[in-house]
Amino acid sequence: MDETSARPLTPSLQRLADRFRAGDSLALARCITRVENQTGGFEDLLHALHDGVGRARRIGLTGPPGAGKSTLTAAVARLLRDRGETVGIVAVDPSSPFTGGALLGDRVRMDDLATEPGIFIRSMASRGSHGGLATTTREAADLMDAFGFDHVLLETVGVGQSELEVATNADSTVVVLVPESGDGIQAMKAGLMEVADLFVVNKADRPGADRLKKEIEVVQAIRAGSPMAAAPAHHGVDFTAIALAGSNPADDGDDSGGAPQIPDWEAPVLKCTASTGEGVAELVERLDGHFEWLEKTGMLDEQRRLAAIEHTRRVLERAVQRQAATVWTEWIGDDGQSADQVAGSPYEIARRLARRLGPGSEN
């Protein structure tokens, strides 16, 4: 068999794909479950549906636990839906579940959203995610994209590297912080500053919102360097200075031959009260602005290209891991006795087992 060609779908997967393409949201849910559980043939299914990927706008929302990400996600989804657009939502391990209702904001409730046509909500577990959190989450988002949603919103708690990767798989990343508990400092430590295309200071109805907003802006300014400095960092370039000098000081001696300068994106810091919806319209407006900027500058294609390369690497690693697990199980046996029977150093044994890796060891 030609290893480079895709395997045909089994009849039952073919039926599932057909229902998916016909717009059956139950089929979408089944496909996501297959991906989440890594059920046999799930990559063939993803491959078959891959043609439809690439139309949706992807927005990541991340931040510390309890910052109001779900409430904000619901409010953003509501606004987009009211504009006539459709929204898929992937929430990774929400501690306050989307369908719980009681824990969610008063005005916009997720369980109201969940039953609305044009909105599809899916929670994913971060623990025990075999294929890697960023990988399976991306694949769930791809499926929603291929299904035809205009937007895919990805909510993750920004507590670790893999959670941040989920957010950075999006076209635009919103970092949600709250005035209490020194979120400004926490954000810097957790690497949230780096991934933000937009900051939201949520719970602006509580004291300290202005102070947090200022804190974030100060950190941004420090990271960018003084606007009038000779070599500003990649954020916060002062364009009046560039225009006066007639060249981009950030270019570092590279003569761009008079090509028009592309303004850098400086992450705005917005105040929101997600529970009442205040400030959410501006957030959506700024998200539109960021997407326009991505398109105009070519950053959208570039970001997506890099993300696709990274995803390919993870899919390869996952395949090798899966094969290694099969080879290992064959060797160790059900009773786990092989280790005693086979003499030799771990290195010698592992090298010999590695030779068994290959398409034949795929299940």
Ligand X SMILES: Nc1nc2c(ncn2[C@@H]2O[C@H](COP(=O)(O)OP(=O)(O)OP(=O)(O)O)[C@@H](O)[C@H]2O)c(=O)[nH]1
Considering the complex, what minimum distance in angstroms separates the CB of residue 88 from ligand X? 17
Binding status of residue 94 toward Mg ion by CB under 5 A? yes
Q: Which is nearer to ligand X, 43 or 183 (CB)?
A: 183
Binding status of residue 95 toward ligand X by CB under 6 A? yes
Q: Which is nearer to Mg ion, 49 or 92 (CB)?
A: 92
- Candidate residues 16, 63, 70, 274; the one interacting with Mg ion per rule CB under 5 A: 70
Number of residues that bind Mg ion (CB under 5 A): 3
Q: Which is nearer to Mg ion, 16 or 87 (CB)?
A: 87
Binding status of residue 87 toward ligand X by CB under 6 A? no
202 binds, among ligand X, Mg ion, none (CB under 5 to 8 A by kind): ligand X
- Pairing type for strands 57-63 and 119-124 reads unpaired
Q: Which stretch binds Mg ion (CB under 5 A): 65-73, 171-179, 197-205, 229-237?
A: 65-73
Q: Which stretch binds ligand X (CB under 6 A): 59-67, 141-149, 179-187, 323-331?
A: 59-67
Q: Which stretch binds ligand X (CB under 6 A): 38-46, 60-68, 123-131, 257-265?
A: 60-68
Considering the complex, what minimum distance in angstroms separates the CB of residue 162 from ligand X? 15
Tokens 């657009």 appear where?
A: 85
88 binds, among Mg ion, ligand X, none (CB under 5 to 8 A by kind): none
Binding status of residue 62 toward Mg ion by CB under 5 A? no
Considering the complex, what minimum distance in angstroms separates the CB of residue 218 from Mg ion? 28
Site for ligand X in 112-171 (CB under 6 A): 157
Q: Which stretch binds ligand X (CB under 6 A): 61-69, 136-144, 245-253, 351-359?
A: 61-69
> Would you tell me which residues interact with Mg ion (CB under 5 A)?
69-70, 94
Q: Which residues bind ligand X (CB under 6 A)?
A: 65-71, 94-96, 103-105, 157, 202-203, 205-206, 273-275
